[in-house]
Amino acid sequence: MNPNVDKIFNYKSYANIKDVPEVVDLAVLVVPASSVLEALEDCGKSGLKAAIIITSGFAETGQEGIDLQNGLVDIIQKWGISVVGPNCEGVFNADDHINLTFAPKRPPQGGISFISQSGALGANTMFRWAAERQVGFSKFFSSGNEAGLNSADYLEYLSQDPATQVVMIYLEGVKDGRKFVEALRKTCRVKPVVIMKGGETAIGARAVESHTGVLAGSDAVFSAACKQAGAIRVYDADELFDIAMTFAGQAIPRGKKVGLVTGAGGGMGVIAADACAKLGLSVPPFSEETVARLRNILPAYAPVKNPVDLTPIFDPMRLVKCTEIALQDESIDSVISMGFGWRSDLISVEAKAVEEFVKLRAYGKPVLVVTPASKWEFETLRTLEAAGFPVFLTPRRAAMALAALVANGEMRKEA
Amino acid sequence: MNPNVDKIFNYKSYANIKDVPEVVDLAVLVVPASSVLEALEDCGKSGLKAAIIITSGFAETGQEGIDLQNGLVDIIQKWGISVVGPNCEGVFNADDHINLTFAPKRPPQGGISFISQSGALGANTMFRWAAERQVGFSKFFSSGNEAGLNSADYLEYLSQDPATQVVMIYLEGVKDGRKFVEALRKTCRVKPVVIMKGGETAIGARAVESHTGVLAGSDAVFSAACKQAGAIRVYDADELFDIAMTFAGQAIPRGKKVGLVTGAGGGMGVIAADACAKLGLSVPPFSEETVARLRNILPAYAPVKNPVDLTPIFDPMRLVKCTEIALQDESIDSVISMGFGWRSDLISVEAKAVEEFVKLRAYGKPVLVVTPASKWEFETLRTLEAAGFPVFLTPRRAAMALAALVANGEMRKEA
C-alpha cells in the first residue's frame, strides 16, 4: 500500500488496504508512528487478522508514546488482530521461506528458533553469526514492544512447532508473568530453552525503558522462574548463540564426566580442567584400559590420564584416534577435543582427519571442539560446525556450553 | 651442534659445543631428555652462560622425570647458567628481531610482553591472535617447568624494560612465592599486569602436575597476592588478550562513568548497561547539554539519555559525532561505541568515518568498539584495532576490559 504510487517493484499498489478486493492475510506496517493507528484500524475494517508493526515511536519514547501505544492496544483488541511489534524488526520463517525482516543476512534452515525483544540482536547479530557459521534457524520473532502478541504467545507456538529443536529468547520485560512461566515450563519439558534477560540491573532497566518501554521487573523473580522451569539462563549474546548451537548439534550427555583431549599443549588441558571444575563438571581419570591404549600411540612423556595431551608430536589423525579412545571409555560422558586448526602447516592433512572425526557422532556422546583460529580461517572448522560439532575459541567457552547440556540432561532425568 | 653432520642450512655444524672456538652467547637445546644433562654440562664447561631447553620429559612426567630435573638444577647451579625451560617453546624478542620459538606466526612489534608456562598459549594462541588483529608484542618468555629462571625473574626484567607497556602472565605454579610477589608489586607500580593462573581448582591442579610438573598452590593465597599487588586477574585466554590489548591501546580513565553509544539498536545498549553495572561501572545520565546536542542530530524517537541509540536511521558519520558528543560530556570518563561493522551495506561509508573516529583519541578518554562482525571481515575494524581501538564481539566483553582499566586507574590513585 502506498497512497502516492500505483506500482511498487512492478506489483500493483493500492492507496489503502480497504481498496484491495480480497481479504489480505498479513499486513506489514512501516508507516510513521502518527499513521499507525489509522492504518491498523483500516486493516481491522478490511477483515485482516494479522499484522507486523515495524514502526518505532511508541511506549519506548515516553508519555506521549505510551498514550499512542494504549490507543494501538485498543484497536488490536477491538478487531482481534494478532499483532507483532510495534518497534520491531519483523518475522522470519526459514521453513516456509518467509522473510519479513530487514535483516541484511539470512541464516540457513535449521532447528533453532529465536524470540527477541531486540531486533538488532536477532537480525544483525544472530543471523550474521548463523550465516557465517552455517548454523540453521527455523523461526525468528522480533517481538519489540509487545503491544499485541508477546513472548509467551511465541513460546507457546514454538513449544508445539516440530521444526524447532531449541528455543533462544532475549527478553527485556515479561508482559504476563503467569502465562509466560506456564509457556516456559511447557516448552522446557520438550526442548531446551536458552534465555537472556536485558534489564537485570537498575541501570539496565532504565535502558530498557527507552528501548522497548516495558518493565524489566524483579530479576530475582525472573531467575527463580527460569530455574524452576528448567530454562538455561545466560548473560551474553555469544553465550546465547554458542549454547543454542551446541544443543542443536550435539546429544545430551548421560552425566557430567568430561574427557579432555589436547593436541594443542598441556596448558589448554589445564585451562579446560579448571573451567570444567568451576562449572560443576568432573574430569575423572581415564580407565586403566584407556590409559594403556593412549600410552600405546603416544610418546612416553605425553600425559594420558585425562587430560590426554598429544604434545607437539601432534598429527590430526592421532587427535581423532585419541578422541575416539576417550569416547570409548565407559566412565566418560562427553569429550572436549582441542587440536583442529592449531597448526596451519597441518591443515592439508586435517581435511581427511575431520572426515573421520564427524563419524564419532556414532558414540552418542557430545564432542565439542576448541581452536584459537578466531577467523574461522580453515575450511575444516567450517566442516565441523556444518556437521553439528560446535567450535569454540577457548576451553572455558566449550565447558560453559557443555555444562548447559549436562544441566539440561539432569533436569530431564528429574522431570 | 649435531654429532652426525658438518653443515645445517649451510652453516658449519660442530659435534659438540666444546669444539666451538669462541664462547657462545646462548644455546638452544632440542636434544632428547636423556641427553640434556650432558649437553648442558658441556655448555657449562665451555663457559656458556645462557641456555634455552625446549626438550620435554622432566618433572611433568613423574618420579623419573623429577629426578632428571633435579640433576638439571644441579648443573644449572654448578655453572651459574641462566636457563629457560625445560619443556618450553623458547623466547621471542620483537625489538631485537630474535625468534627462538617454533611458533608458526609472529606478532608485530608493540608494547605487550608475555610470560607463559604454556608454550602453546603463547606461540599458538596469543601470537596468532596478535598477528590477525595487528596487536603488537615486545617479549615472550615460554617459561615451561622453570628449572632455572622462573616467572619472578622474567617479571623483574619486564618491570624495567622500557619497550614493555603491559605484562601478560599465564602461570601454573609459583616457584618462589616471596620473590614473585615482590616482582609483581614492583611491576604493578609502573605498568599494568594481567594474569591468568592454571590450576585454580583441584582438577586443574592435577592437570598442572602432568603439564609443567609444578605445584599449583593455594588459589586463595595467589588471589590475595594479585589483589594486594594490584594485578588484574582473568580466567580465560580471550580475556587475557582482550584486556592486555585494551591497556596497550587506550588511556586509563579518570573514573568509572561510562557513556554508551549504539548505532546497533537499543538491545545492545541494554546489554551494555547491564554489563557495566554488574562490573561496578556506572552509566550516568548525560548532562542536559549533551542530551540537547544529541537530540539535535537524532530523530525524536531516539533514546538520548545514555545509552544514546542512533536507531535504524543509522549512518557511520553520525556514530562518530554521537561518540564525540558523549566524550565531550564532563561527567563521562569513557565511551563504548557500538555501530561499526554492523551494516555491510554501509561499509563503503565507514572507512571515512573510521578516519574521523581515530581522532577521538585527542579527548584522552578510552573508547572501546563493539561489533558482531566475528570474522573481522571488514577492513574498517582492522584499521580501528591497528590504531589502538580494541574491537569486541559483545558489549559485556568490552565492559570487562573497561572495568580492568578503571580498576587499574583506581589502584594507581591509591598508591
Summarised one tens digit per residue, pLDDT across range A89-109 is 999 999 999 999 988 778 899
Number of H-type helices and E-type strands within chain B? 15, 17
Using CB atoms, pick whichever of B61, B201, B372 lies closest to residue A128: B372
pLDDT at B138: 97
pLDDT surpassing 80 at residue A185: yes
pTM, to two decimals: 0.93
Interface contact B124-A60, CB threshold 8 A: no
Using CB atoms, pick whichever of B102, B132, B198 lies closest to residue A374: B132
Using CB atoms, pick whichever of A57, A125, A267 lies closest to residue B198: A267
pLDDT at B376: 66
pLDDT at B399: 98
Is the peptide bond prior to A162 cis by the omega test (within 30 degrees of 0)? Answer: no
- Mutant choice from B208, B222, B271 vs A, greatest count of A C-beta within 10 A: B271
What is the DSSP secondary structure assignment for residue B356, as one 8-state letter? H
Q: How far off is chain A from B61, nearest CA to CA, in Å?
A: 6
**Chain A residues touching residue B124 (CB < 8 angstroms):** 264-265, 342-343, 372
Q: What is the H or E stretch that residue B137 is in?
A: strand B137-142
Q: Give the pLDDT band (50/70/90) at residue B215.
A: confident
Mean pLDDT of B126-132: 89
Mean pLDDT of A285-310: 93
**Chain A residues touching residue B278 (CB < 8 angstroms):** 200-201
pLDDT at B375: 64
Map A223-243 to HEC letters. Answer: HHHHHHHCCEEECCHHHHHHH
Is the peptide bond prior to A372 cis by the omega test (within 30 degrees of 0)? Answer: no
Summarised one tens digit per residue, pLDDT across range B330-365 is 999 999 999 998 777 777 789 999 999 999 999 999
Q: How far off is chain A from B219, nearest CA to CA, in Å?
A: 12
Count of CB atoms situated within 10 Å of the CB of A369: 23
**Position A375, amino acid:** K
Summarised one tens digit per residue, pLDDT across range B88-97 is 999 999 999 9
Question: Among A132-136, A221-225, B70-74, whose mean pLDDT is lowest?
Answer: A132-136
Interface contact B128-A199, CB threshold 8 A: no
Interface contact A270-B343, CB threshold 8 A: no
pLDDT at B379: 85
Q: How far off is chain B from A251, nearest CA to CA, in Å?
A: 25
Summarised one tens digit per residue, pLDDT across range B9-47 is 899 999 889 899 988 999 999 999 999 999 999 999 999
Q: Pick B206 or A26 by higher pLDDT.
A: A26
Q: How far off is chain B from A172, nearest CA to CA, in Å?
A: 9
- Cα A238 from chain centre: 9
pLDDT surpassing 90 at residue B287: yes
- Mutant choice from B116, B203, B282 vs A, greatest count of A C-beta within 10 A: B203
Q: Pick B191 or A315 by higher pLDDT.
A: B191
What is the DSSP secondary structure assignment for residue B282, as one 8-state letter? B
pLDDT surpassing 90 at residue A208: no
**Chain B residues touching residue A370 (CB < 8 angstroms):** none
Q: How far off is chain B from A198, nearest CA to CA, in Å?
A: 6
Interface contact B282-A203, CB threshold 8 A: yes
Cβ–Cβ under 8 Å, residues A323 and A353: no
Whole-number Å distance between alpha carbons of A159 and A141: 14
Using CB atoms, pick whichever of B128, B170, B196 lies closest to residue A372: B128
Summarised one tens digit per residue, pLDDT across range B172-208 is 989 889 999 999 999 999 999 999 999 999 888 888 8
Interface contact B270-A396, CB threshold 8 A: no
pLDDT surpassing 90 at residue A362: yes
pLDDT surpassing 70 at residue A154: yes
Mean pLDDT of B137-153: 96
Q: How far off is chain A from B201, nearest CA to CA, in Å?
A: 6
**Chain B residues touching residue A273 (CB < 8 angstroms):** 201, 203-204, 206-207
- Mutant choice from A58, A140, A274, A343 vs B, greatest count of B C-beta within 10 A: A274
What is the DSSP secondary structure assignment for residue B286, as one 8-state letter? P
Reduced to 3 states (helix: H, G, I; strand: E, B; else coil), residue B171 is strand
pLDDT at A95: 93
Mean pLDDT of chain A: 92
Q: Give the pLDDT band (50/70/90) at residue B265.
A: confident
Cβ–Cβ under 8 Å, residues A133 and A382: yes
For the record, the C-alpha cell of A100 comes out as 519479513
Map chain A to HEC letters. Answer: CCCCCCEECCEECCCCHHHCCCCCCCEEECCCHHHHHHHHHHHHHCCCCEEEECCCCCHHHCHHHHHHHHHHHHHHHHHCCEEECCCCCCEEECCCCEECCCCCCCCCEEEEEEEECCHHHHHHHHHHHHHHHCCCEEEEEECCCCCCCCHHHHHHHHHHCCCCCEEEEEECCCCCHHHHHHHHHHHHHHCCEEEEECCCCHHHHHHHHCCCCCCCCCHHHHHHHHHHHCCEEECCHHHHHHHHHHHHHCCCCCCCEEEEEECCCHHHHHHHHHHHHHCCCECCCCCHHHHHHHHHHCCCCCCCCCCEECCCCCCHHHHHHHHHHHHHCCCCCEEEEECCCCCHHHHHHHHHHHHHHHHHHHHCCCEEEECCCCCCCCHHHHHHHHCCCCEECCHHHHHHHHHHHHHHHHHHHHC
Cite the beta strand spans of B320-405 per DSSP E. 334-338, 367-370, 391-392
**Chain A residues touching residue B272 (CB < 8 angstroms):** 207
pLDDT at A161: 98
Picking from A380, A109, A392, the residue whose alpha carbon sits closest to that of residue A238 is A392
Q: Which residues contact A229 (CB under 8 A, 6 or more apart)?
A: A181, A184, A185, A188, A193
Q: How far off is chain A from B133, nearest CA to CA, in Å?
A: 10
Interface contact B211-A309, CB threshold 8 A: yes
**Chain B residues touching residue A309 (CB < 8 angstroms):** 210-211
Using CB atoms, pick whichever of A65, A196, A207 lies closest to residue B269: A207
Mean pLDDT of B62-76: 95
Interface contact A274-B198, CB threshold 8 A: yes
For the record, the C-alpha cell of A123 comes out as 537480525
Q: In the A/B pair of chains, how many CB contacts fall below 8 A?
A: 238
**Chain B residues touching residue A132 (CB < 8 angstroms):** 374-375
Interface contact A204-B116, CB threshold 8 A: no
Count of CB atoms situated within 10 Å of the CB of B131: 16
Interface contact B283-A376, CB threshold 8 A: no
pLDDT at A375: 64
* ipTM value: 0.91
Whole-number Å distance between alpha carbons of A365 and A368: 10
Q: How far off is chain B from A415, nearest CA to CA, in Å?
A: 30
Q: Do strands A91-93 and A137-142 pair parallel, antiparallel, or not at all (unpaired)?
A: antiparallel
Using CB atoms, pick whichever of A104, A206, A277 lies closest to residue B201: A277
Summarised one tens digit per residue, pLDDT across range B364-387 is 999 999 998 866 678 889 899 999
Q: How far off is chain B from A351, nearest CA to CA, in Å?
A: 19
Summarised one tens digit per residue, pLDDT across range A250-268 is 999 999 999 999 987 788 9
